[in-house]
Chain A
Amino acid sequence: MRPPRALWVPFPLGRPFGAPDNPDFQRRVLLATLQLLTADSGPVLADFPDDAPGDAGVDAAADGGWACPVSFPAPPVDPADLGAAVAAEIGRLAPWYEAARCARGRTTVGVSAFSIEAATAHAARFLEAPPPETGAEGAIRLKRALEDLKAFYSEAAAAQPGARGDDVADWLWRETALGRLMARLGQVLAAGDDAELRFLAERSLVPRAQGARRD
């Protein structure tokens, strides 16, 4: 594949312009890309020379790494009731989510038609057989509910500075009831009869890196 002009960048997937909340660095990357338009002949493939800086104003390594600011004491619910456990976590995270939303003036929650509470209940229903919905529509509705839940958790966790993408992902998948719920969903749906839900479970539910860590 030979696009006419391409800038290779060393940034993590999902961050093509390098670093959030760093307009100077984003501008550098953008200008380096636009500069390719001045080439007389092509195709052109150039390398951006610098790694993205860490979170602005924070050196996670220096301060011992990031830890989620919200603690989750054992909720007074049946530990096997993952839906209730997630609902309890949402209650603890909500103030941080709202603080982040107000500080940034935006949220990425809203892909699904569910409230966060309804998204939790909807996802939990898929832990039992038979699933409440099936087929392509059922699978995508479940996925969107989960994406909103993940966004809610991630935005709440990142309300405190120092949270890098890997830190938040590891916390979400390894330390929360939501992570346990989604992992359990992957197992249940992968063993089910519906092809679309199986595809979701096998390809679009648990990140490859997180799935390998759980094995």
Chain B
Amino acid sequence: MVRLSDLAEEDRDHLLAMPCPQFEDAPWVTGPPLSQRRLAVVTTSGVQLRGDAPFAIRTAEYRVIPGDATAADLIMSHTSVNFDRTGFQRDANVVFPIDRLRELADEGVIGTLADYHYAFNGAYMEPRAYAGTAREVAALLRGDAVDTVLLVPV
């Protein structure tokens, strides 16, 4: 998350004005050593496979990113215009670090990568609007024996 002081005034004011939801509890679980964990990425960066339906404005839908997807397979249909996309255009790993994760798995730093990762469109929606599809993705992650999720907000 960028420093507020590095943002344009308009973006800074916009972020400061956003409500911050309060939750009653803070989930916490422990797990196996990192080298034994099975990891999936869940991101709000609006990435998708080329050929999949792009994200609509104001949607809680998600897209499935197969575990064998390459950077060349990925495009971005996030509907916000208020962030820099040139990093992703040059190198998908700056948003979706699939190559870096594969390297870590090959080295044994992490155990395995999930068969599927997931992407949402993180724009124009209150967080609670994602509750239904988030639970759906949680069930899919359990079915994939995932015990570790890398949440990447954009």
Contact = CB atoms under 8 A, between A and B. Distances in A.
The finding on whether chains A and B are genuine partners in a shared complex, rather than unrelated, reads yes
Contacts of A139: 57
A15 B54 contact: no
Interface in A105-155: 105-112, 136, 139-140, 143-144, 147, 150-151, 154-155
A27 B72 CA distance: 20
A12 B8 contact: no
Contact of A154 (B26, B75, B89, B127): B89
A26 B100 contact: yes
Interface residues of A, number: 68
Q: From DSSP, what is the main secondary structure of chain B's interface residues?
A: loop
Nearest to B25: A2
B29 A169 contact: no
B28 to A, nearest CB: 5
Interface string A80-106: 000000000000000000000000111
Contacts, number: 181
A170 to B, nearest CB: 11
Contacts of A164: 86
Contacts of B50: 110
Contacts of A19: 87, 94
Interface stretch (A36-44, A67-75, A187-195): A36-44
A16 interface: yes
B56 interface: yes
A62 interface: no
Given A18-B94, A30-B101, A207 B3 contact: no
Given A42-B26, A211-B10, A11 B2 contact: yes
Interface of B: 1-3, 6-11, 14, 20-23, 26-31, 34, 37, 45, 50, 54, 56-57, 71-72, 74-77, 79-95, 97, 99-101, 103-104, 109-110, 123-124, 127, 148, 150-154
